[in-house]
Amino acid sequence: MGGIAGVRVFSGDGVAEATLVEMAERLRHRGPDASGTWVGPDVGLAHARLAIIDDEHARQPMLSADGRWALVLDGEILNHESLRTHLDHPFRTRGDAEVVLAGLALEGISFVERLRGQFAFVAHDLRTGATHLVRDRLGILPLHYRHVPGGLAFASEVKALLVVGPAAALDHRSLDAFLATRTVPAPDTLFEGVKKVRPAHRVAISAGGHVEEVPYWVPPECDPDGTWSAGDAVEAVGDGVREAVRTALAADVPLGVHLSGGLDSSLVAAQAQQLRGDDHLHSFAVASDGETDPARRVADLLGTRHHEVAVRADELDALWTRLTWHRDAPIAETEDVEAFALARAAREHVGVVLSGDGGDELFGGHGRYRYARLAERAHVLPALVRTGLAGPVERRLGATFTSAERQRLLGVAPPPDRRTSAASGADAVDRMLRHDLRHDLPDHLLERADRMSKAASLEVRPALLDHRLVELAFRLPTSLKVRAGSTQWVLREAARPLLPDEVIDARPTRRHHALLDAGVRDLLHDRLTGTGSWVATTLDPDVVSGLLLHSGGSGEVDARLWTLLGLEVWHDCFLGTAPALPRPRQSAPSYVHGS
């Protein structure tokens, strides 16, 4: 694990090693254990390392034994040991980076299709001059790039890209998408000219500067009706979850689990604890004031070494800019603050935690999936009815600001080229699940988990996102997921041998942090209406004033105000002044390779 960065040049004097060192420094939180650089003909690579496997020997950047390939890898290739046994190669390390290099040397870039796990890597072919940027199938780990004068820069996080090329600027065309969902769908970002490599894609950069993006994986279509009996589906999902969690447990450092008390994290924790036997796992949850906290109940049932983490309101003001810097995006939800608090506490005990992220998007867990059919059929309703339903339906589907509100705020209609394309699928729910797998999951939930955990130098593994379990989930029909009023039906049934019914059938509850809301309320008026406020000068002031007017009192702060305040802090952090490290850090060991 760690952070990766580099520059590919097409003209000029090559890559300055000092630039690579500075890019790696911006990523030190992702890899505090060591850093390294490599400079070759017209290309330079940098790596910041978080040691999880083979701490002593698996340093990067790394060159293949035949001298053809140079590599920087972020992540874990979870099947590297099985791949190692099938590759005719004299391995010098136990790490996964050397396995990737051996595969590239034998099979070329198509070797990516044999990798299993969470990863992003850059591989440069010294024979052809091509540079490949590759991201895992689900988008668990990030990879960005931007064109710069005379070349192209790439990095795990945007802040490292800003070392090279022009100053950061806002991509106004992405604002509509952000206000709708509090994220920007790949390949775009809130930064002008900065792109994300899309999940399950590789970007090939030729020696002449041509850039081509190529997909290497798509989830399978649903199997025909009648293919699966309910019993067979439950058995297959149970086996798939067990194998996914078993694979995710591989690490040379202590390992724990996140617990929310919901089905997904509870199932991952239960399966992990069963596989570990008497080795009691550490579990981590956000503290609750209630005596019947569901996470605490699950921890007691499983016998984990449980830690409850308090989210303190008095830290919010000080943390907001720091977490925005780490997020590369606005902190627009309390869940961002919770994720960092959990990661910071977990890092004191373990180096890796498993999470249940992705279970809702695989098996139909979100309440909005019940409205998928209504959303698709709305266009056939009479205009007056459609207009009246538009706002409520958008809210049910998860929109922060409705399309009408966004148009008032921005004063323009959304750019047509930034609308996400509709996903194909067997029915309305299946199409929504595929859309969420492609956008909401990687661009929102997984991006938050990655940035907030790496802010504490912790690795998070979403165990359910093993791509083989994902393929199984998308082969199953909707009737096995949303069934008889129950969401995630097949996953719930698969969990019954491991968890009591009271946990499996509990209704999901939303945590409300009144203290955090109070901290936000104290900032709202000054940051959104004061002199120098970007929101006040850019967005419609009447809409903003109306939201502030209705936010009086001591109730929950409107999610729309959280979103605007997060956007204001982000703009100030990245565009108001030059980005800087949020705090001094101790130097890590460094090493340099020459061409």
Annotated binding site for L-glutamine: 96
Give, for 381, the enclosing helix (H) or strand (E): none
Pairing of strands 69-77, 117-125: antiparallel
Write the CA distances from 552 to 395, 522, 566, integer angstroms: 22, 11, 19
Task: Give CA separation, 74 vs 71, 112, 240, 364, 505, in Å.
Answer: 10, 14, 25, 30, 37
Q: SS3 of 593, please?
A: strand
Residues facing 147 on adjacent strands: 152
- Strand partners for 89: none
Q: How far apart are CA 424 and CA 437, in angstroms?
A: 12
Which pairing describes strands 590-593 and 34-40: parallel, antiparallel, or unpaired?
parallel
H/E stretch holding 255: strand 255-258
DSSP state of 535: H
Q: How far is CA 325 from the centre of its chain?
A: 16
Helix then strand then coil, % of the chain, to nearest 5: 45, 15, 40
Output the furthest CA–CA distance in the chain (Å, rounded): 71
Burial of residue 592, with CB atoms counted within 10 A of its CB: 0-12 exposed, 13-18 middle, 19 or more buried: middle
Contact (Cβ atoms closer than 8 angstroms) between residue 31 and residue 48:
yes
Question: Phi and psi at residue 405, in whole multiples of 5°?
Answer: -65, -40
What residues are designated binding site? 96, 286, 355-356
Q: Which residue ranges are tagged as binding site for ATP? A: 286, 355-356
Q: Which of 451, 160, 447 is nearest to 322 (CA)?
A: 451
